[in-house]
């Protein structure tokens, strides 16, 4: 009897040992699987994935519903320059921003005509647009350019609204921020450069404009002038181009950085999210921080459009009253 009980206890202990080993093996396999899933999520949501959501492409993605392939045209050559007029995602959203800017200016002009005709003043959104227009005209353009600045009002206000819409369109679902592309901001900066230099040439005349490049302080002795020209001319040229480069990089960097922060926060959900305390905290924490950054991005969109318009006005005013 005792030997039978002993054999039963021994068999039970062996069975419990097998069960314990099975549980440990299953736990180890589950941990390895979870670790593999985390590594897969990290690989899926890395730098390359975030860049894919930001850079330009020939497709307009409507995840998870698919994508629209945008029209492509064969490039042609002008001398050694290859020109490709295919419609890309950023080009498409530049068209949207252009259409919204034209619509805004049209509605503002119509409201202005009604006001001049003695009808009721604009209300609602038109009243907001009128407030923007008056502030930009009086406190930005005219305050920085001075006499004759009214000729630059349409251009600078158009730049403001165009950049503003380009910034905001990247914050809507399936949208894209064209101003996060350095080629777009560079083109805007080139337009500003020609406006500034042309304004200076017209206001100062050929001789006065050349003094903005070959600058000589009054009262210098003749023997010192060549040395001053040798030093100051490169400085003046660098100053002309550095201001425009700063315009392009400031707008590009601010819009690109904001999108990277939002994508990085959303990536925390895929990397650490799960049905555990840490995973739940990661999900809700990333969503809360993402919402906060989105609200900050709306503010940055307005600020960057305002800064671009303000600096163009400042540069025009400076060169028109140079030295």
pLDDT digits (tens, 9 = 90+) for 124-169: 667 777 788 888 988 999 999 988 888 999 899 999 999 999 999 9
Give the N- to C-terminal CA distance of the chain in Å, as an integer: 116
Comparing 46-60, 82-96, 131-145, 270-284, which segment has the lowest mean pLDDT? 46-60
Q: Is 174 left (phi over 0), alpha (psi -120 to 50) or beta?
A: left
How, if at all, do strands 59-61 and 67-69 pair?
antiparallel
What is the model's pLDDT at position 207?
87
Asked if residue 173 has pLDDT above 80, the reply is yes
Question: Which stretches of the chain are DSSP H helices?
Answer: 2-44, 47-52, 89-116, 125-135, 142-145, 153-168, 182-211, 225-272, 277-320
Sign of the torsion formed by the C-alpha atoms of 82, 87, 89 and 91: positive
pLDDT band of 265, cuts 50, 70, 90: confident
> For the chain, what are the domain ranges?
42-53+65-320
55 CB-near residues (< 8 Å, 6+ apart): 181
pLDDT at position 123 is 66
Give residue 229's pLDDT band: very low, low, confident or very high (50, 70, 90): confident
Query: Quick one: tokens of 216?
Result: 């000589």
Among the residue ranges 78-92, 158-172, 191-205, 209-223, the one predicted with the least confidence is 209-223
Nearest to 245 by CA among 302, 193, 318: 193
Rounded Cα distance between 64 and 117, Å, is 51
Helix (H, G, I), strand (E, B) or coil at 117: coil
Tokens standing for residue 100:
């919204």
Helix axes 153-168, 182-211, angle to 10 degrees: 160
Task: Choose the most confident range, by mean pLDDT, from 2-11, 119-128, 157-166, 201-210.
Answer: 157-166
pTM of the model: 0.79
């Amino acid at each position: 009897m005792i030997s039978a009980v002993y054999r039963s206890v021994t068999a039970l202990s062996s069975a419990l040992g097998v069960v314990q080993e099975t549980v440990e093996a299953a736990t180890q396999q589950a941990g390895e699987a979870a670790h593999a899933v985390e590594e897969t999520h990290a690989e899926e949501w890395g730098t390359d994935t975030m860049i894919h959501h930001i850079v330009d492409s020939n497709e307009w993605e409507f995840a998870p519903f698919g994508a629209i392939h945008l029209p492509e045209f064969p490039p042609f050559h002008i001398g050694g320059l290859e020109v490709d007029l295919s419609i890309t995602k950023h080009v498409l959203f530049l068209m949207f921003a252009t259409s919204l800017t034209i619509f805004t200016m049209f509605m503002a002009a119509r409201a202005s005509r009604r006001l001049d005709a003695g009808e009721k003043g604009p209300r609602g959104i038109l009243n907001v647009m009128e407030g923007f227009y008056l502030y930009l005209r009086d406190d930005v353009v005219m305050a920085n350019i001075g006499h004759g600045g009214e000729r630059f009002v349409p251009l600078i206000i158009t730049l403001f609204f165009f950049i503003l819409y380009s910034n905001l369109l990247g914050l809507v679902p399936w949208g894209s921020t064209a101003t996060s592309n350095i080629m777009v901001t560079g083109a805007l900066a080139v337009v500003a450069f020609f406006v500034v230099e042309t304004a200076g040439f017209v206001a100062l005349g050929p001789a006065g404009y050349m003094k903005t490049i070959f600058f000589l302080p009054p009262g210098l002795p003749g023997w010192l002038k060549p040395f001053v020209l040798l030093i100051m001319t490169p400085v003046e040229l660098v100053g002309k181009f550095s201001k425009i480069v700063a315009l392009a990089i400031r707008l590009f960097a601010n819009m690109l950085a904001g999108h990277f922060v939002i994508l990085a926060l959303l990536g925390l959900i895929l990397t650490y999210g799960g049905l555990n305390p840490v995973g739940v905290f990661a999900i809700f924490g990333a969503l809360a921080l993402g919402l906060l950054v989105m609200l900050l991005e709306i503010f940055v969109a307005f600020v960057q459009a305002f800064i671009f318009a303000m600096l163009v006005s400042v540069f025009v005013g400076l060169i028109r009253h140079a030295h």
